[in-house]
Amino acid sequence: MKPLLIALFLTAGTAAAPALAQDARAATASGQAWAEVSRAVAQDGILHVELRFLTDHPAYPGERIYDHIPADRLNAMIYVMKGDQSFPLWLEGGKAMVPDRLELRVGDGPQVGHWQAAFVAPHHDVTEAFLHLPNLAPVGPFRIERR
Q: What is residue 108's predicted lDDT score, i.e. its pLDDT?
A: 73
Note if the pTM is more than 0.95.
Answer: no
According to DSSP, the residues that pair with 132 across neighbouring strands are 79
Domain 26-146 fold: Immunoglobulin-like (2.60.40)
Distances (CA, A) of 147 to 75, 118, 119: 25, 15, 15
- CA gap 115, 104 in Å, rounded: 10
Whole-angstrom Cα Rg for the chain? 18
pLDDT digits (tens, 9 = 90+) for 9-47: 333 333 333 333 334 789 999 999 999 999 999 999 999
Do 93 and 80 meet the contact criterion of CB atoms below 8 Å apart? no
Please state the domain extents for the chain.
26-146
pLDDT digits (tens, 9 = 90+) for 96-128: 999 999 999 987 789 999 999 999 999 999 999
In a 13 Å sphere around the CA of 56, the CA atoms on its Cβ side amount to 1
Please name the residue ranges forming H helices in the chain.
Answer: 2-23, 74-77
